[in-house]
Amino acid sequence: MIVNGSFVTSKNNPSDIDIVLITKGNYPPLRPITPEEYEVISPRIAQEQFELHLFVRINANPNSNDMITFFSGVREDPKTRKGLLRISI
């Protein structure tokens, strides 16, 4: 899981959080997922219930540079890079 957004900065009034959930192995399973599992991986539900932006990468390489490059960019200064928080679950 990669966490980004103003909640992982020193801003006084953080307003957003972005999460990239990277699955590996046999997920999603080869069976229909339960409603509880759907709630965990649904970007729409994440936005509505928790006010966060969720990006799910299924069976992706956790070191994949596309999402890391995108989220490490600084909007105001494209040449500047910022750190990200990576959590292994």
**Distance of alpha carbon 76 from the chain centroid:** 21
Look over the chain and give the mean of its residue pLDDT values, rounded to a whole number.
Answer: 79
Q: Could you give the C-alpha distances from 20 to 13, 31, 35, 53, 79, in angstroms and in order?
A: 22, 23, 20, 8, 22
Q: What is the pLDDT of residues 23-43, one digit of tens each?
A: 776 666 677 888 888 887 788
- How much is the average pLDDT of 59-81? 76
DSSP code for 60: -
Q: How far apart are CA 17 and CA 6, in angstroms?
A: 6
The C-alpha angle 77, 83, 86, rounded to 5 degrees, equals 145
Name residues whose C-beta falls within 8 Å of residue 39's C-beta, 6 or more positions apart in sequence.
45
